[in-house]
Amino acid sequence: MSLPRERIAPVLLALCAAIVGLPAIAQTGYPVKPIRWIVPWPPGGGADVLSRMLSPKLSEALRQQIVIDNRGGAAGNIGAEMAAKAPPDGYTIVFAYSGTHASIPASIRSCRSRRAISRPSSGSRRCRRCWWCIRRCR
C-alpha cells in the first residue's frame, strides 16, 4: 500500500513535529525542590505575617514546599543582597518593596568611586558592600 504524493508531505511534517517535541516530554516539572522565600525584615513584622499567609496558598498551587527565610537588617538590604547572590534558577523569591529596589540604590552615589572596591581574580571592579553593584557592575 502506497501513499499518494499529496499525503506524504503532511505525514512527514507530523512525524518531524513529533520528533522535535520528544525532549519536552522528558523534562521534569518546574518545582522539583523547595522554594526559598526571602523576607528581608525580622520575624513578626507585617511582611513576615503576609508572607506566612500567602505561602500556604502558593505551596498548594505549586505542589512544593515554600521555606520562608527572614533576613532582617540594613533596611532590607541584607535580604535583598542574598536574593541578588542567589543562583538564577527560579527557586528564590524575595519579598521586596520600593526601598530595597529603588530608593536605596538611587540614593547611593557611584559605587565605583567608593574606596571599598574589591578586585576579584577576573579583574572586574565592584563595590564589596552594595548589593546593587553585584547585579549592575558584573
Residue-level pLDDT at 132: 54
Question: Can you list the domains of the chain with their CATH numbers?
Answer: 35-107 (3.40.190.150), 111-138 (no CATH)
Angle CA 70–89–94, to nearest 5 = 25
Residue-level pLDDT at 12: 76
Residue-level pLDDT at 120: 46
The DSSP output letter for 88 is S
**127-136 burial, b for 16+ CB within 10 Å, e for fewer?**
beebbbbbee
Tell me if residue 133 falls in helix, strand or coil.
helix
* Residue at grid coordinates 526601598: 99
For residues 38 and 47, the answer to whether their CB atoms sit within 8 Å is no
pLDDT in tens, the chain (138 residues): 566 777 777 777 777 777 776 666 666 677 889 999 999 988 998 889 999 999 999 999 989 999 999 998 888 888 888 888 899 888 999 988 777 777 666 666 555 444 444 444 445 555 555 555 555 554
- Exposed/middle/buried for residue 99 (C-beta within 10 Å: 0-12, 13-18, 19+): middle
The model's pTM: 0.60
